[in-house]
Structure 1
Amino acid sequence: MEKNSWADQWDNSNQASGKTTDDGKSGAGASGKYKEKVEAGLGKTKAVASSGLKKVKIGTSLGLNWVKDKYNKTTTTKKN
């Protein structure tokens, strides 16, 4: 009995089995379509995460500047 690693179980490359689809192309058929959808979804997720990170960075910058301005106002009024 041959033990396969986790990676071998989830490998979509059909090299070991030599199986082909009906049209002669090697591939996983329905799982190939699924893979394309997942990749498209990951692209969208990456774009959303990127824009979210930009918003967080801008918000943090604005918040720190607000705190800095408040601190400067209180220290200048105490000196006068």
Structure 2
Amino acid sequence: MEKNSWADQWDNSNHTSGKTSDDGKSSGGASGKYKEKVEAGLGKTKAVASSGLNKVKTGTSLGLNWIKDKYNKTTTKKN
């Protein structure tokens, strides 16, 4: 009975490289599933960041317009 050494058990030279195939999916088995989950998470993160950025833009615009209106009201009262 031949025993494999620790290095032979963890040697990745005989396995697929994990590079993507023609359809864009990873061929790495478990790493492919992990990659799909990460991509899905990044898609959700991108959507949340985009909607958050739009809210910040809208809030900033409303805030600046409010300040501009207050400034115009004070300057017209003095005249």
SS at match of 1:31: helix
Q: Please name the residue that 1:54 is paired with.
A: 54
Greater relative contact order (Cα < 8 A, sep 6+) = 1
Percent identity between the two aligned chains: 84
SS at match of 2:15: coil
Unaligned segments of structure 2, at least 5 residues: 1-12, 17-25
Cα RMSD (Å): 2.1
Q: Deviations over 1:2-40 (max 9, x none)?
A: xxxxxxxxxxxxxxx4625xxxxx821111000000000
Q: Please name the residue that 2:9 is paired with.
A: none
Q: Please name the residue that 2:15 is paired with.
A: 19
Q: Please name the residue that 2:33 is paired with.
A: 33
Is 1:66 the counterpart of 2:62? The answer is no
Q: If the length of structure 2 is used for normalisation, what is the TM-score? A: 0.69
Q: What is the alpha-carbon distance in structure 2 between the residues aligned to residue 74 and residue 67 of structure 1?
A: 11
Aligned length: 60
Runs of 4+ in structure 1 deviating by more than 6 angstroms, as ranges, are: none
The residue type paired with residue 61 of structure 2 is S
SS at match of 1:60: helix
